[in-house]
Amino acid sequence: MPTIASEMTTDNLESSSMASSPVNPNVSSRNRPPSSPLKQIPSDSLGPASDSLDSSNKKISADDMAFYYERLLPFRYVFQWLNHSPKPQKDFTMREFAYEHRSGAYQRYNSFESPEDFKSSVVRVNPTRFEVGAVYAVNPSERKTLPKSAMKPLEKELVFDIDLTDYDEIRTCCSKTQICTKCWKFITAATKVLDVALREDFGFEHMIWVFSGRRGAHCWVSDKRARSLDESKRRAIVEYLDILKNKGTKRLNLRRPLHPHIQRSLDILKPDFLTIIQEQDPWRDDEVAIQDLLSKIPNSSITDALKKEWTTKPHRSSLDKFQDISSMAQRLPKANDKKMVIEAEEDIILEVVYPRLDVEVSRQMIHLLKSPFCIHPGTGNVCVPFDANKEFNPMTSPNLRQIQGELLKYDEEHRGDDKKVANWDKTSLKPYTDLFTAFVKRLLASEVTGKRERDEQEPDLEF
């Protein structure tokens, strides 16, 4: 969060206009003055971005964001997704939203009456991003007039957050905020494992994976059953999934036979592990890492032999080294020794590629998470939903600059057309909004409302 706040202030004009209308995080957003017309300044003049995926990508200005909120963000689908019905109900109207303002101020407990109210408020406030929280028993924006105890969260999507920074000790291709297609493979592996576990073990069906815009992914589980879990149950689920929780420097040491969930994860991860090891190559020359690897092999005859082997053949690749361990194990005379080494290798696979979870994000019901389709303020990437079982490339996913251009170009080329096309369908956002609408449609169909949808017309996309 602090990094974002400091990035924001590079925009001098913006921060001076903020100074004249300071945002009190507790003041209702409705009192804010409309944005100043002075901001019509070409964003190119604002200097290069400090970190970006794409060199042509510049800082995102307030105007860019206003344009995006006004014309491109599919509010109606976000609304339907959170509301679980076409008509506004408590799941939406009693839900908390938070704004992160351009000043860095964070404003919690906003709530909206309708999708129109939702959109117009976001457009007016023009935050750098907005986050989605829990559904409360009372209207969050009226919390001041209510006793503290009334603000109990009732429901919330079960969420998971995976971040590449948690893999820094093993990834060699990038560090900190940078990512590339190589290290994104950790996220792909993690999403596959979690997606299957949530479906097969817990029976959840309605989850959507969302690119966080920079170096991670979020998962939102929208099943009714998941939404109504209390915090202790959420914790239990995360602990079930989080097999690395007690991991120190020591070996994972899982009990055998492996629990079906772990066995299945291992089967899924094995091929990914080999690719990742090949590309990241963490054990080629790093003496400390090699020692660490050897210390996890519970057989001194093997480790001694390997030490010798690897000293005589320096720069042996990580993949070769890993396979050395396997082939040495095969030559062990005792079946039990062999088994132990193989098991240690399995533990290493899981240690390297098993999803690294943030427990608190999943456990706390009041925790807020950035909404899908927000723009990541640092990169300008759209937080697009993606399919856990298909390839997703964060390097080529839609960026605000790019889709702005696409929209303007389309409108230019189709001037005078009568056909009404939703703005996002004119850009490369289309496959992602299509994925999201299909997901939302399935979710709505599964909600047992008992009420028949009276309004079956195609909703007005340009509300």
| Contacts to another protein by CB under 8 A | 199-204, 225, 229, 232-233, 236-237, 239-240, 243, 255, 257-263
d(CA 23, CA 21): 6
Work out the burial of residue 230: count CB atoms within 10 Å of its CB; fewer than 13 is exposed, 13-18 middle, 19 or more buried: exposed
In sequence order, the 6+-apart residues with CB closer than 8 A to the CB of 148 are: none
The least distance separating another protein from the CB of residue 272, rounded to whole angstroms, comes to 22
Contact 63, 109 (CB under 8 A): no
The least distance separating another protein from the CB of residue 229, rounded to whole angstroms, comes to 7
In the bound state with another protein, the residue whose beta carbon lies nearer, of 67 and 202, is 202
In the bound state with another protein, the residue whose beta carbon lies nearer, of 84 and 234, is 234
The least distance separating another protein from the CB of residue 205, rounded to whole angstroms, comes to 10
Selected catalytic residue, list 7, 100, 131, 163: 163
Could you tell me where the DSSP H helices lie in 283-397? Answer: 287-295, 300-312, 318-330, 335-353, 359-363
In the bound state with another protein, the residue whose beta carbon lies nearer, of 144 and 255, is 255
In sequence order, the 6+-apart residues with CB closer than 8 A to the CB of 216 are: 161, 162, 163, 164, 165, 187
Selected catalytic residue, list 96, 131, 272, 347: 96
The least distance separating another protein from the CB of residue 260, rounded to whole angstroms, comes to 4
Selected catalytic residue, list 11, 91, 100, 161: 161
Cα separations in angstroms, 134 against 111, 112, 163, 224, 432: 11, 13, 22, 13, 25
**96 a catalytic residue:** yes
d(CA 426, CA 421): 7
Structure tokens at 362: 């999943």
The least distance separating another protein from the CB of residue 450, rounded to whole angstroms, comes to 22
In the bound state with another protein, the residue whose beta carbon lies nearer, of 195 and 281, is 195
In the bound state with another protein, the residue whose beta carbon lies nearer, of 231 and 387, is 231
**163 a catalytic residue:** yes
Active site amino acids: 96, 161, 163
